[in-house]
């Protein structure tokens, strides 16, 4: 039964505190002295946290739900609502508006319509770990190159050169946003160009040798871990989407009649809807999986909760259990595998491959192709690819 204001008003204190749940993480804590506190329970990086939303009756049920919805929206944009509130607790309104951390979080919020939630989360975690503790409370208009460089040197010293370069890029983006909103003079991070040690360009590890691919496929077939991860690994080489797109796949997106997986724009890196043609082998895997997870939302639900997708490290951990090293293969490596072999062995047109990888592909006039471009050809490509993988698997037996 849905919670009502009448039920809240009539809730009596007990010898010990107790909770009245309102759904979606929102609950009312009733204390022995009769106090009634709204709380929002959520998780960040697997750790449970709570956010206070005010007291009843000053904050009624409707307003509490609205505050809860805003907190969930912050989380979808990669923002920890508790950490965000902490950042706002400064001595003066001017400091609140102009602190580097607050401006940074505001900038990330403006990108929510463009970035996938997972991308926002990566940036906010980087800033929370390596930047905010040292410079977050500083007024953004007072930050100068030596102070920025000091933060970046700390990152370099722990051997994370690539992270230091990415943090420098974020500094520039945030400062430019500060200039645009009238809170910073200019992008002082631009003065640090060349100040960091260069980082050799790297790529996600991937198995691209046909013989080794066959052995990998056989190893996946023989994987003895959980069935959800096993099916995800079996499907991964046949669709070669990004790991986050795979693990968040939903049953409502699968069209068995058309043999297509329709991924909505909000889950794609480029924020454009994407069609993945499904080969016969992929459909067979999905038909086997449907009786196991088809009653829920996700193809690959978490072992802890069917309401969440499996962990972003699930496939990576499975590969390690199979004794496949990080220098050999990653979850992202299935994309590099397909791209290399489709081009160099099966001689598929590069634009078909790039479009199927959901990369930015444009026509001769500079216009982006829509999601249905070359769809019949991509259906054939995906079937040829699945058939080729079957041959490699058979040779490895």
Q: How far apart are CA 315 and CA 321, in angstroms?
A: 10
Q: Which of 18, 223, 369, 388 is catalytic?
A: 369
Q: Which of 144, 280, 359, 395 is catalytic?
A: 359
Q: How far apart are CA 340 and CA 212, in angstroms?
A: 14
Alpha carbon 330 to its chain centroid, in Å, reads: 16
Nearest to 51 by CA among 17, 88, 13: 88
Q: Which of 39, 67, 332, 339 is catalytic?
A: 332
The answer to whether the beta carbons of residues 205 and 328 sit under 8 Å apart is yes
Q: Give ∠ CA 341-345-349 in degrees, rounded to 5.
A: 80
Residue 359 catalytic?
yes
Residue 86 catalytic?
no
The answer to whether the beta carbons of residues 337 and 237 sit under 8 Å apart is yes
Q: Tell me: cis bond preceding 57? Omega within 30 of 0 counts.
A: yes
Helices 227-239, 333-344: inter-axial angle, 10-degree rounding: 30
Residue 369 catalytic?
yes
Q: How far apart are CA 314 and CA 56, in angstroms?
A: 42
DSSP state string for 125-169: HHHHHHTHHHHTTSBGGG--HHHHHHHHHHHHHTT-HHHHHHHHH
DSSP secondary-structure letter at 263? E
DSSP secondary-structure letter at 53? E
Nearest to 343 by CA among 215, 208, 243, 214: 208
Residue 332 catalytic?
yes
Beta-strand relationship, 254-255 and 47-55:
unpaired
By three-state DSSP, how is residue 301 classified? Answer: strand
Beta-strand relationship, 18-23 and 26-30:
antiparallel
Q: How far apart are CA 345 and CA 25, in angstroms?
A: 51
Residue 144 catalytic?
no
Alpha carbon 331 to its chain centroid, in Å, reads: 14
Q: How far apart are CA 138 and CA 152, in angstroms?
A: 16
Go through 38-66 and write b for each residue having 16 or more CB atoms within 10 A of its CB, e for each that does not. bbbebebeeeeeebebeebeebebeebbe
Q: Which of 248, 274, 335, 339 is catalytic?
A: 335
Q: Which of 137, 269, 308, 380 is catalytic?
A: 269
Q: Give the active site residues.
A: 242, 269, 332, 335, 359, 369
């Amino acid at each position: 039964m849905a919670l009502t204001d009448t039920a809240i008003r009539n809730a009596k204190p007990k010898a010990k505190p107790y909770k009245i749940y309102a759904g979606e993480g929102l609950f009312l804590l009733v204390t022995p002295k009769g106090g009634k506190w709204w709380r929002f329970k959520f998780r960040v990086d697997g750790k449970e946290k709570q956010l206070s939303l005010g007291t009843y009756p000053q904050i009624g049920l409707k307003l509490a739900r609205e505050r809860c919805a805003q907190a969930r929206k912050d989380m979808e944009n990669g923002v920890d609502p508790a950490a965000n509130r902490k950042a706002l607790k400064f001595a003066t309104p001017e400091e609140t508006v102009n602190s580097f951390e607050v401006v940074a979080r505001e900038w990330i919020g403006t990108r929510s319509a463009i970035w996938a939630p997972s991308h926002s989360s990566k940036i906010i975690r980087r800033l929370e770990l390596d930047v905010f503790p040292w410079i977050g409370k500083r007024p953004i208009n007072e930050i100068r190159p030596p102070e920025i460089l000091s933060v970046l040197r700390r990152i370099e010293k722990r051997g994370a050169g690539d992270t230091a370069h990415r943090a420098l890029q974020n500094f520039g983006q945030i400062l430019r946003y500060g200039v645009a909103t009238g809170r910073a003079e200019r992008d002082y991070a631009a003065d640090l160009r060349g100040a960091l040690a260069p980082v050799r360009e790297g790529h996600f590890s991937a198995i691209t040798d046909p013989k080794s691919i066959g052995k990998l496929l056989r190893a996946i077939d023989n994987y003895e871990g959980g069935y959800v991860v096993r099916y995800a690994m079996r499907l991964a080489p046949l669709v070669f989407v990004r790991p986050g797109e795979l693990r968040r796949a939903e049953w409502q997106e699968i069209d068995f009649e058309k043999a297509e997986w329709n991924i909505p724009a909000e889950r794609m890196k480029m924020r454009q809807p994407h069609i993945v043609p499904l080969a016969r082998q992929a459909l067979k895997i999905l038909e086997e999986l449907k009786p196991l997870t088809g009653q829920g939302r996700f193809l690959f639900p978490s072992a802890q909760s069917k309401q969440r997708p499996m962990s972003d490290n699930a496939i990576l951990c499975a590969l390690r259990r199979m004794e496949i090293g990080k220098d050999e293969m990653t979850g992202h490596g299935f994309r590099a595998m397909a791209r290399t072999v489709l081009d160099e062995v099966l001689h598929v047109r590069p634009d078909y491959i790039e479009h199927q990888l959901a990369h930015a592909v444009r026509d001769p006039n500079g216009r982006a192709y829509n999601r249905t471009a070359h769809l019949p050809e991509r259906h054939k490509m995906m079937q040829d690819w699945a058939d080729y993988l079957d041959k490699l698997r058979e040779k490895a037996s």
